[in-house]
Amino acid sequence: MKILITGAGGFLGQFLARKFLEDGSHQLVLTDVMDCPVPKGSKHPDNAKVIKGDIFEEVDNLVTKDLDAVYIFHGIMSSGSEANFDLGMKVNVDATRLLLEKLRHTTPGIRVIYASSQAVYGRPFPEVLTEDVFPTPEGSYGAEKMICEYLVNDYTRRGYINGISTRFPTISVRPGKPSQAASSFISGIIREPLAGKECVVPVKDRSFPSWVCSPRTLINNLVHALTLPSDALPSHKRSVNMPGLLATIQDMLDALAKVGGEDKLQHVKEEDDQELGKILHSWAYKFDNKLALDLGFKPDTSFEQAVREYVDWVKEQEQLDA
């Protein structure tokens, strides 16, 4: 298959690209506005082509008639979208609409997997959230994601694309540097202390819950999304909440201590950040993933396992760099 991945310079794009490059039958087009290397350790690196640039400028080069599938990962994260409304709308909505229009006219019916978010939900929350709960986002990021979900629905209903919107839990443990996401600390609470660096947790309440998923599990689920038959969902309802698990700040600290050692806890600083707190407390944290599970998507086993997977990934990267 020939697959386009936008936002491919980010960690998810890199992880997904490496997963597809395990199979020599796949051809990838990787694009981002920032540096977007072919992932280290890829089995078939020559099967990937990198196009660095803005979607507004490069869309004609990105979308060709021989494309089989597209993963839409580009975007401005939650706190970044809240801080800069115009930039968030341009990148998260306008660029996505432009891409969908180009796909509609060049490769009608193409499979599109859109990266959405649990941020589409807003308070008041029911006891348990499902896809039947009406989304009422409380931030610009969630609103922008919901706008694009509606586009995916209607473009699919009309036969322009064969789309599915995958609503991500918070991903932990993310490699790399802290991001603009309000949830960045949910990876930082593990990643930074393991590296001997300080992480500031912007919530002092250790019972604060988050709905999380490991990168490995999400990547496997994104690959699975490519295999779903077009009639697996109604043509006008294409959104699925990806499986996650509930983890409190205390659960994360316990996993850090168990995997990395008690001494790593000294690198965690807890303080209340009222601005970030407004965003964090507007996010749902308890989901019923029956639809996703019925469609064949898989959940994580534990947060501790996600931490162990991250440690294994770090060791692998050190070996590749040696």
pLDDT of residue 249: 96
Q: Is the pLDDT of residue 180 over 80?
A: no
Average pLDDT over residues 163-188: 91
pLDDT at 112: 98
Q: What is the pLDDT of residue 48?
A: 98
End-to-end CA distance of the chain: 33
Question: Exposed, middle or buried: residue 322 (CB in 10 Å: 0-12, 13-18, 19+)?
Answer: exposed
- pLDDT higher than 90, residue 284: no
Candidates 146, 145, 148; CA nearest to 134 is 146
What pLDDT digit, counting tens, does each position of 48-81 carry? 999 999 999 999 999 999 999 999 999 998 888 9
Q: What is the pLDDT of residue 262?
A: 96
The whole-number pLDDT of residue 179 equals 78
The region, left, alpha or beta by phi > 0 then psi within -120 to 50, assigned to residue 115 is: beta
d(CA 310, CA 212): 14
Looking at residue 35, its pLDDT comes to 87
Determine the pLDDT at residue 78.
83
DSSP 196-246: T--EEES---TT-EEEEE-HHHHHHHHHHHTTS-GGGS-TT--EEEPP-EE
Q: What is the DSSP letter of 266?
A: G
CA distance 158 to 77: 29
3-state secondary structure of 166: strand
Cα torsion for 207, 216, 170, 100, to the nearest 10°? -170
The 10s digit of each residue's pLDDT in 133-150 is: 999 999 999 999 999 999
Confidence grade of residue 301 (pLDDT, cut at 50, 70, 90): very high
Three-class SS of 95-139: HHHHHHHHHHHHCCCEEEEEEEEHHHCCCCCCCCECCCCCCCCCC
Average per-residue pLDDT for the chain: 95
- Which positions are catalytic? 141
Contact of 152 with 163, CB cutoff 8 Å? yes
Backbone angles phi, psi at 63, to 5 degrees: -100, 110
Can you tell me the mean pLDDT for 77-101? 95
Q: Output the pLDDT for position 182.
A: 81
The encoded tokens of residue 306 equal 């996600």
Residues 109-141 pLDDT 10s: 999 999 999 999 999 999 999 999 999 999 999
Note the pLDDT tens digit of each residue in 2-14. 999 999 999 999 9
Cβ atoms of 149 and 116 closer than 8 Å? yes
pLDDT the model gives residue 183: 87
Instruction: Kindly state the tokens that stand for 21.
Output: 């490059």
Mean pLDDT confidence for 168-172: 94
Helices and strands of the chain, counted as H and E runs: 12, 12
Reading the block at residue 66, the tokens are 């021989």
Q: What sign for the dihedral angle of Cα 11, 12, 14, 19?
A: positive
Q: Does residue 282 carry a pLDDT above 90?
A: no
Q: Which residue has the higher pLDDT, 153 or 278?
A: 153
What confidence tens digit (pLDDT) does each residue in 238-274 have? 999 999 999 999 999 999 999 999 999 999 999 999 8
**Residue 96 pLDDT > 90, yes or no?**
yes
